Structure formats: structure tokens, C-alpha cells
Structure 1
Amino acid sequence: MMIANRYEPTGKMTAGGMGEIIECRDSHLRRPVIIKRLQSGIDERRIVDEQKALAKLRSKHVVQLYDIVELADRGRKEKAIVLEYIEGDNLEVGSLEPNLHYVKILWQIACGLRDIHRAGIIHRDIKPNNIRLDGEGVVKILDFGLARDAGFDAKTRSIIGTPIFMAPELWGTETISFNSSIDVYAFGVTALALMNGTVLDPLGKQPPQAVPLTSLENAMAGVAPDIVEVVHRCLSMDPRRRPDMETVQKSLAGHLLRDEHRALVVMDGRHHHLNKRSRRITLNAPGVASLIIEYDGMRFSVTASAGSVFLNNSIANKGDVVPGCCVITFGASGNRRFVTFDVSNPEVMP
């Protein structure tokens, strides 16, 4: 039986949680799709919430909404949504090793959550089972049935979600206001769960308790310390101390791009290169000023300066990060020298 005169069921159907998935073939565009509807007895608002959330989103790392249809095969009319068909498997607890692939998976999840939050949406049910890895290695975040718009209406009276991934502030008995930081907390738990199938005792309590950094370091043995520290911040009991997902994404990207940056300075006809093979340069303007810049694998920083040196009109101090495409000025007045500092910024690819 054709659905909406367009979608032909393949005969494959799965049910789980609140939803039921019907695999179909789009006869117009000749591609596979899935139709999602709620299981009997579930409040129809859930499918409406998912529809509204996905209609706002365009992200490589979020399942796409294609269409909205009406079904009547269960004796009543009910709404359903047509979604992108994603060939692949959902992520599993304890399925990843502490290697580069693991960090790339975290980075992709962070990219998806960054896009979700930029669209003003709170997912509310981030966990491995709601994240799929497609055949090309691209992460897709699924299941927006609990999603809410960020803002004044982001409140709940009941405990909704998957307990181990729920932030501590969601366990109150009164009406609770929440924001996107609950997704950040769930991301932190997910980051731990993907490589460690054992739940840390503090996280298993209801409500969860603070996890000492040393405990997290042991549980995430083999993961770079800076990444463990980011995950630890995501798990903060205080929502205000959790980083936003853009900060998390940039931190993970920086780790993945370690030693991949290159900078070029041309001074007096000489080319100075900064990269993983040449980590330090000294720039001299005789009789005026000098500057030493070093590359630590993630950033270009001032390690010493003498005389009057400016980075984009700001005085250069030891420890300052040199911004890409900036102008370095030697001298405060009179015999001033201007030099450009250019950085090629590589991108992380799945």
C-alpha cells in the first residue's frame, strides 16, 4: 500500500522506545527513506516536537526531515514524519578504543550538538543509541522526540530522558527550568560510555554526583589529558560551569589538528616558516625591535619580545597567541616596520 501516493513500504518495520519505524522507497526520487510514527498510546505531541525541531535544522550531523504524512492503517488518522534513511549502526556503549577514531567520533557529535544549539533546540536525549555512524563514517544524531526550543518554555515537571545521561538539575521534584547545558552533560556521559562500559559510581546515583578528575582519568586511560579535562567540565554539577558545545568542538578539533597548522612570515625578502618541522622563528628589525614566535602544535605564541612590538595594534606580550592573518608592527613611531603573519587553517574531516 502506497503511503501519500509516494512512499512504498519495503516490508521492514522496527519498534523501540516511543516510535515505530517503517522503511520505504520514495517512488518520486527513487531513494530509501524511513517513516516514523509513534507507538499506540504515546502523546502525539512527541512527533510534533520532533517535526518542529528537525524543520529548523540543517546539519551534516543531524538526520534530515524530508516530509510530513498522515497514516490511517491503525483505524485512526495519525501524523508521521519522513526522514533520511541512514545506512549504518547506532553507537554502542564500550565499543570504542582511546584512539584517533574515538576523538573524531566525539568531534562529530560535538559538531552536531553545536548546530542543534545554534538553531535554538535542546535535544534532551543524547546517548549512544541515538547517534548513528553511517557507511561513510559520518555521525548522525537521531530521535528528537523529546526536543524543546531553548528559552522560556524549556521547563519540565517530570523526570524525562535516559537516567544515566540526565543532568543532576533534571532530578528535582518541582517544575524545572533547563537549557542546552543538559545536552552538554549528556555529551560528557556519552564520551565516557563509548569507551568504558562501566558506569562510574557517582554518575549512577539519582541524582548523579560529582566525578573526581582522577577517577575520570583512570576511566578514560589512554585519552589525551586535555580531552579528559574537557569531558570533566561537561560533567560539572553546576550547569553554568559546563562549556558550550562550540567550545567543546573547537577543543576537539584543536587536538585532531595538532601539528597540522602552518604559518608564513615574509620579512626583508626572507620567508620564515612555522610548522611541525620548524617550530620557532626570530624576527629582527635592527635598531627597532625583535620578536620570537613558537608553534606548540596547536597555536602560535609569543615567547619573547624586545622593544615595541604590536600584534594588530595590541602590544605583544610573552604568552600572547598570534592570530592568523595579523599585522606585526615593529616600532611605536618613526622608523616603523610592518610584517604580515599568515596561517593556513586546516579543517577536520570525518
Structure 2
Amino acid sequence: MTSVEAAEAMARGIKGVDPSIVCELVPMADGGEGTTEALVTALQGEWVEADCHDALDRPITGRYGFVPVSRLAVIEVAEAAGLAQITPGDRDPWVATSRGVGELILSALDHGAIEFIIGLGGTATNDAGAGMLTALGAHFLDANGIAVADGARGLTSLVSADLGSLDNRLRTVKFRLASDVTNPLLGDRGASAIYGLQKGASPQDVPGLDAALERWADIAEAAFDRHVRDIPGAGSAGGLGAAFAAATHASLESGVELVRDAVGLRQRIAGADWVFSGEGGIDRQTASGKTPWGVAQAAKAEGVPAILFGGRISDGAYELIGDAVVAVVPILRQATDLPSALRDGSVNLERAAATVTRLLTARIGCP
């Protein structure tokens, strides 16, 4: 389910018990998949489609969110450079490019955007954002002054960067990067070592990929006159964090906190009796910046108890119960396989929300 579908399912369950209950639906996300949809829905934005390229440089139609009243564009980098768009056998961080991300940014700039929220994560790339910056007008050149090839492989022959044609609008617009990744660009905790394997690299590839990013850092830091390789989050999205830090006045923020503030979550919680939230699986990691925990903390700040629903509840999930979370509730009604659980997720969540609502209204004496 998307966050919108999950919110609607819970609302159906609640109103099925008592139609007079007022439900405030606030789809949420943490900077990853679903961030754009959550913000477009909550901020009454619109969808914009744009021609771009995927990580293997194949033409696709991507989309991003745009909020006209604030001229805010919301872009998930995975929309153009997503790992999920590439079949496992075709994943190759040596050639994968972030060019499509730059193409979506250009489209949004032409659409009038003056502020951006960028959801970092889920990319197939390891090119330090060189592809994105190329789409935005930068030129990365080899010893002969010829543009280097896409992907990390092209960075191995990088000698210079020409920023003369870089889009001037990047200097004036505001970029907020939604990510909970704090990895630097290079080294044992860098982009290549931590995320390269899931993008198709072998363990033997990692030192070479890291060396390619180091070469980019040497050239780019000199060209932009900014030290970015060690910034927390520089290694996010295959090094896109470093590219944004070099080329823009970007701020890296907790994804769930950024979305929380953008949709005015605390103000919308104020005065509520209960807050319902959840995710597919709830465990100890939920408290590490995941959406439900961020929602629960916002509810706590407003003095409203929160209940979390999950498709899978691990033993560690019950450690979350305290002054912010009063209950963790599984939504499955019977033992089942994963495809069935996914297919029936909306119905199961609706019924779980209805059951909890019956208990709550009986307990507090509501009609």
C-alpha cells in the first residue's frame, strides 16, 4: 500500500465503527519511496510528467510533484535512477548514470520551482551525481578534453570539470535533501562499500568504484571550491548527496522530520484523541528514523497517544511501547504467505483499525 492507501484503509475501518468520528488523513513518508505522493496529497499539489532517462540511459517518462502556491518541487531520485527499474541481471554501477535526476530538476526549474525537496535513496547509481550535474550543464572531461563516459567507469578517466555552462538557477533555488543516510562518500562506510553490492557490484569491484569516486571528489571539490567528501550523507544515493553539496546550497535533513514539517503534521495532530500510523514491518529499527516513529514523536509532542499497525511485528517492536506509542498492533488475521498478505493488506488494515476503534470507543465511553 502507498501511504495514501493506508490512511484511507484506516479511515474506512474507523468510520465503519462510528461514522461521526472525524478522521484527519495525513499521508507520511521518510524521504524514500512514497515521499512525493505523500507531499502532493498533503499539500494539494499536482503531478508533472517529464521525459528523462533511467539509470541505463533508456528513455522513460518520469514524474515529480509540484505545489503551485509555494512553487515547491518534490522529486524522488529513484523516479529516474531507481534500482527497482533495473532487472537484477542488468544492474551495473560501473555504467549506471544519474542523468535522469538532472533532467527532472531541469523540468521543475522550467516549471517555475524555487524550492526543492529531494528524496534520496533507492538508486542504481554510483557516479557521485556526475550524470545529474552533466544534465544540468556541467562537463566532466578526460585528458583529451572529451566528455567522460557515463557511470563510475567514466570517472576513472576524469581529469577536469568545466562548470561554465552549469545552470545558474542552481545558485538561487533552495534544495532540501530528505535522507537518514549519514555515510560519507568514500571509505569503509562510503557509497561503494556500503551500497555497491546491492547495485550489482561484486566485492572485487568495490575498491575500484571507491577509487572512481575519490577521483571525482578530487576534481569536483577543486572545481566547486567546496570540500564535500566527508560531509555526513555525501554517500547517499550513490554519491548524489556529495553532488548536491558541491553544486547547490543544499541541506541534508531527516526524511521523516522534513516531511513532517512540510505537511504541518504537529498542527494537524493538535486536538486529536488518537493517532494511527504503521508500516509493513515494525521492529527495533522503526525507532531509527522510520515514518511511524516520527509520527509517534509528533503525537507525543502534542500529548496525543499513538497506535502503530504492522503487517509483521517482531519481538523488538514491543520495545517501542512507552510514552509515545501505547500499542503495536498486527494486522494479519491468520497465518498466510507474503503474496496473500500484500494482496489483502488494505482489507486487513481496515479491519484492524476497526477492531482497535471498537476497543477505544468502548474504553473511553464515546457513543
Relative contact order (C-alpha < 8 Å, sep 6+): which is higher?
A: 2
Which of these two proteins has the greater Rg computed from alpha carbons?
Answer: 1
* Alignment TM-score, normalising by the size of structure 1: 0.29
* Alignment TM-score, normalising by the size of structure 2: 0.28
